[in-house]
Amino acid sequence: MPRLATTSDVFTAVAEPRRRDILVYLAPREQTVTAIVKALGAAQPSVSKHLKVLRDVGLVEARREGRQVLYRTNVDALRPLHDWAAVFERFWRHQLSRVKERAERAPSGKGGKP
């Protein structure tokens, strides 16, 4: 099966860990490339390349302020990722409930009987 271009699919774009790091870093507030480079300890050309991919799929927006370009996460574009992950939320909630039930049924280990 041919691989999808990272410039056309949000799922493929976020498959790259460094791009996920950038999205997380930008989540609370917009930042410059320089700030992203410094925070992530990555090379500027690499960060710029990842930002371009993220912009191309709409996950990141940019605005110019004087000589600087500020980048921010486009939360609306994250909706397909959120909706997809939400499918599994019920499964995980069920699994966590089972773990909790087992823990509550287990002996306390404080000298009590099971």
Task: Tell whether 4 is covered by a domain.
Answer: no
Domain that holds residue 14: 10-105
Say if 2 falls within a structural domain. Answer: no
| 58-86 pLDDT, tens digit each | 999 999 999 999 999 998 998 888 888 88
Question: Is residue 85 in a domain?
Answer: yes
Q: Could you tell me the CA-to-CA distances from 76 to 16, 47, 66 in Å, in that order? A: 20, 22, 26
pLDDT at site 112: 47
Domain of 70: which CATH number? Answer: 1.10.10.10
Mind listing the pLDDT tens digit for each residue in 51-65?
A: 999 999 999 999 999
Q: Is the pTM of this model over 0.85?
A: no
More confident residue, 98 or 45: 45
Q: Is 23 a member of any domain?
A: yes
- Smallest CA-to-CA distance from 48 within 59, 34, 63, 58 is with 34
Assigned domain for 50 exists: yes
113 within some domain: no
Total structural domains within the chain:
1
